[in-house]
Amino acid sequence: MPTTIIHRRTNIITLASGETIAAYCRPDDIALVEDGSGWWVHFVGEEGASDTYDEPYRSYNEALWAAKAAAEFSSSL
C-alpha cells in the first residue's frame, strides 16, 4: 500500500515494490520509487507520463527532501 505525504498541497507518494505510478498517482503528484540503484523521484504528468532526475538518490530521506523542495518550488509559481 502506498504512503502519501502532502507537502505544500502536493502529494508525495512512496510506492512499494510492484506498485505502479499509473495505478496510484495523478497529474502533479510526486512519486518516490525504489529500485536496485536507489530512490527515484518521479514528477507525474498528464495521462500517467512521468519525468525524473538523471540519477537516483542513495536513500529514501534524500529523495523525500528533494521531493519536498520540488513541491515548495512548484507551490511558489
Per-domain residue ranges of the chain = 3-75
Alpha-carbon distance of 25 to 48, in angstroms, equals 8
What does pTM read for this prediction? Answer: 0.91
- Residues 10-62: tens digit of each pLDDT: 999 999 999 999 999 999 999 999 999 999 999 999 987 899 999 999 999 99
Helix (H, G, I), strand (E, B) or coil at 14: strand
Closest listed residue to residue 25, CA positions, set 49, 9, 8: 49
